[in-house]
Amino acid sequence: MLYSDKVMDHFRNPRNLGIIEDADGVGEVGNAKCGDIMKIYIKVDKGIITDVKFNTFGCGSAIATSSMATEMIKGKSLDEALELTNKAVVEALDGLPKHKIHCSVLAEEAVKAAIEDYYNKEGKIEKTEHSCSGCTGCCGM
Amino acid sequence: MRVYADNAATTKMSEIAIDTMISYMKNEYGNPSSLYEKGQRALEAIERARKSIAEVINCKPEEIYFTSGGSESDNQAILSATEIGKRKNKKHIISTAFEHHAILHPLEKLKNQGFEITLLPVHEDGLVRIKDLKEAIRDDTVMVTVMFANNEIGTIQPIKEIGSICREKGIIFHTDAVQAVGHIPINVLEMNIDMLSMSAHKFHGPKGIGALYVRKGIKLTGLIEGGAQEKGKRAGTENVPAIMGMAAALIESNNGMEENTINISKMRDNLMEELKKIPHAKVNGSIISRLPGNLNMCFEGIEGESLLLLLDDKGVSASSGSACTSGSLDPSHVLLALGLPHEIAHGSLRISLSEYNSEEEIMHMVKVIPQVVAYLRSISPIWNDLKEGRKEYVIQ
């Protein structure tokens, strides 16, 4: 079986699909050339992510990892959300095939990009790491 | 309803092929190299199979060599041309940019042995140009290898013209006809084909068996050394049941070819007309010079693997040229060779029909494919940008 039951569940029934028109932060990562783009929208109130939505262009694990990532940050504080790792996303999904791990890295990057965008908008610029936007393939995938 | 629409990947075995194999497994298990009656009966059987297969492509029985399939045949053809090239000091080979990897990878490896490889471009219609071939031919060209019909987009190449040019120039002409044999007429004599690869599991025969046609007078080099089977050119006890299954399947496919072509094209054309109604979608490759059952399309804004998974949930088995399905970072080299941009190539769908598909199954696909495409577009940031005018459509 290519994907675990959890991955297939998040793929078939993605959580938090959609767009937030008046989002407080929007993060878009990946590129069409390599076949994966994730866009995450967040609403923030008093430092808590009160709502999150996503759109994804990509394969089964791309959709599943972005869905899981949004679930994991919903209702969390910005600091907690920044601590989200791709490893945690993969574990929560009961694992991903080796050649699909890079999708989970992209999901982590999308979350960070959304939060960075929020801070930018707030005028408080926090530097977060961005290894995936522009996709140089540096994760080796 | 389950619809199997991936016949280019492999085909369901025909009842006749299965029954033939079982009968040989049960009753004729002799080794064709054995002297006694049981062995000789097995030998006579595979020679009958050899003759039948030769008749279908119009060559002599002694020009057919049994192999384990298309990949082995392709490898052996290239190896043989390599040895001839080394002897004659002709180290240039011409092929195309969209060959199967069983041709491209061995050719790539030949560069380490001082060979130069020219890959003819394919144009947007999925066809090579005779002009490009003529310009590529050099005094030291030892072989031209061009696939009869492409596995992803189904386009049928100008094989007869290529054969004619190669014969005139004394260049060995090999064709990987794995997708073509059993589906469209092939006449190696008329078409001046010197070597040809075929594989049984593409025409309702068993997996793990194929053949290589080699015109008399061309020296074949053995890939597998050992016993004297196949005139010393391919060692290993012959897979009698599989050979008989292959022959039975090929005879059946050949007999039904005319009628099947009409029926399959009709189904494919119906499906294509309906799917073309999906906005910002395009058919890849010429519709005129194409295998009857092949349909390959790109849908802007979505990705192939997610398309296939959702189609699978709706009972449809198909294939795609996206990177995720190819297991690499790049989408299909075939679609890229056509000049499609990466992001469009990722959103491709290949449907390949056979005579076992039905109108009812076509109706099912007509219903579910647009549904899945629409859903994936609704969750795609690319499609959103296109809809809102932030990006320009590539496919009008």
Q: What is the pLDDT of residues A70-98, one digit of tens each?
A: 999 999 999 999 999 999 999 999 999 99
In tens, the pLDDT along B108-144 reads 999 999 999 999 999 999 999 999 999 999 999 999 9
Q: Is the Cβ pair A141, B329 closer than 8 Å?
A: yes
The model's pLDDT over B143-195, given as tens digits with 9 standing for 90+, comes to: 999 999 999 999 999 999 999 999 999 999 999 999 999 999 999 999 999 99
pLDDT of amino acid A138? 45
Q: Which residues pair with B283 in a beta bridge?
A: B297
Tell me the whole-structure pTM to 2 decimals: 0.93
Closest Cβ opposite residue A58 in set B306, B310, B383: B306
Measure the CA–CA gap between B312 and B305, rounded to whole angstroms: 10
- CA quadruple A76, A77, A80, A85: dihedral sign: positive
B324 is an active site residue: yes
Mean per-residue pLDDT, B79-93: 97
Residue A128 — very low, low, confident or very high, per pLDDT cuts 50/70/90?
low
**Largest Cα–Cα separation, chain B:** 78
Query: What residue of B is the nearest CA neighbor of A62?
Result: B306
Report the C-alpha gap between B377 and B383 in whole angstroms. Answer: 6
Q: Which percentage of chain B shows pLDDT scores above 70?
A: 100
Q: Over 60: is that where the pLDDT of B18 sits?
A: yes
Q: Dihedrals φ, ψ of B28, to 5°?
A: -115, 70
Q: CA quadruple A125, A129, A130, A136: dihedral positive or negative?
A: positive
Give the list of residues 6+ apart from residue B87 with CB closer than 8 angstroms, or none. Answer: none
Instruction: Name which of A106, A125, A115 is nearest A43 in CA terms.
Output: A115
**Cα A40-B302-B128 angle, rounded to 5 deg:** 145
Pairing of strands B195-199, B172-176: parallel
Condensed to tens digits (0 to 9), the pLDDT of residues B206-262 reads 999 999 999 999 999 999 999 999 999 999 999 999 999 999 999 999 999 999 999
Task: Record the tokens describing residue B298, joined without a space.
Answer: 């790109």
For B259, counting Cβ atoms within 10 Å of its Cβ (0-12 exposed, 13-18 middle, 19+ buried), the class is exposed
Residues from chain B contacting residue A98 (CB–CB below 8 Å): none
Using the Cβ of B329 and the Cβ atoms of chain A, whether some distance falls under 8 Å is answered with yes
Position A135 pLDDT exceeds 70: no
Residue numbers in B near A35 (CB within 8 A)? 303, 322-324, 331, 342-343, 346
Tokens of B382: 């690319």
CA distance B134 to B124: 19
Contact A42, A51 (CB under 8 A): yes
**Which chain B residue has its CA at the smallest distance from A39's CA?**
B381
Residue in B closest to A56 by C-alpha: B380
Between B319 and A140, where is the model more confident?
Answer: B319
- Answer for the pair B123, B321: CB distance below 8 angstroms, yes or no: no
Please indicate if any CB of chain A lies within 8 Å of the CB of B274: no
> Cβ atoms within 10 A of the Cβ of B139, count?
7
Q: Is the pLDDT of residue A126 over 80?
A: no
Is residue A63 within 8 angstroms of chain B, CB to CB?
yes
Taking an 8 Å cut-off on Cβ atoms, the answer to whether A56 and B309 are in contact is: no
**Paired sense of beta strands A36-45 and A48-57, if any:** antiparallel
Cα-to-chain-centroid distance, residue B371: 30
Torsional sign, CA B250, B252, B255, B259: negative
Q: Testing the interface with A: which of B308, B324, B378, B382 to mutate, by most A Cβ within 10 A?
A: B324
**Nearest-CA neighbor of B318 among B337, B336, B293?**
B293
The DSSP H or E segment spanning A71 is helix A60-73
Which ipTM did the prediction report? 0.91
Alpha helices, H only, chain B: 15-27, 37-57, 70-88, 101-110, 130-136, 159-169, 240-255, 257-275, 304-313, 323-326, 333-337, 342-345, 359-378, 381-387
- pLDDT confidence of A127, banded at 50, 70, 90? low
Q: Is residue A129 scored above 80 in pLDDT? A: no
Residue A34 banded pLDDT, cuts 50, 70, 90: confident
Do A59 and B324 count as a contact with CB atoms less than 8 A apart?
yes
- Integer distance in angstroms from the first to the last C-alpha of chain B? 33
Chain B's closest residue to A12, CA to CA, is B310
Is the per-residue pLDDT at A139 higher than 50? no
Looking at every residue in chain B, the average pLDDT score rounds to 97
**C-alpha span between B58 and B78 (Å, rounded):** 22
Length of chain B: 396
Beta bridge partners of A53: A41
Pairing of strands B348-352, B294-299: antiparallel
CA distance A100 to B360: 36
Chain A residues close to B342, C-beta within 8 Å: 32-35
Q: Which of B353, B394, B350 is nearest to B369 (CA)?
A: B350
Contact of A31 with A135, CB cutoff 8 Å: yes
User: How many Å lie between the alpha carbon of A132 and the closest alpha carbon of chain B?
Assistant: 14
Residue contact B323–A63, C-beta within 8 A: no
> DSSP of B272-320, one letter per residue?
HHHHTTSTTEEE-S-SSSB-TTEEEEEETT--HHHHHHHHHHTTEE-B-
List residues bridging with A37 in a β-sheet.
A30, A57
Mean pLDDT of chain A: 90
SS3 A56: strand
Whether residue A131 has pLDDT greater than 70: no
B148 to chain A, any CB pair closer than 8 A? The answer is no
Question: pLDDT digits over B320-367, tens only?
Answer: 988 777 767 789 999 999 999 999 999 999 999 999 999 999 999 999
Secondary structure letter of residue B175 according to DSSP: E
- Rounded to a whole number of angstroms, the distance from the CA of B18 to the nearest CA of chain A is 28
Neighbouring CB atoms inside 10 A of B323's CB total: 24
pLDDT greater at residue B308 or residue A127: B308
Best residue in B306, B307, B394 for a mutation probing chain A (most A CBs within 10 Å): B306
Provide the shortest C-alpha distance from residue A56 to chain B (in Å). Answer: 5
Q: How far apart are CA B76 and CA B203, in angstroms?
A: 21
Q: Pick from B310, B342, B379: which is nearest to A56 by CB?
A: B379
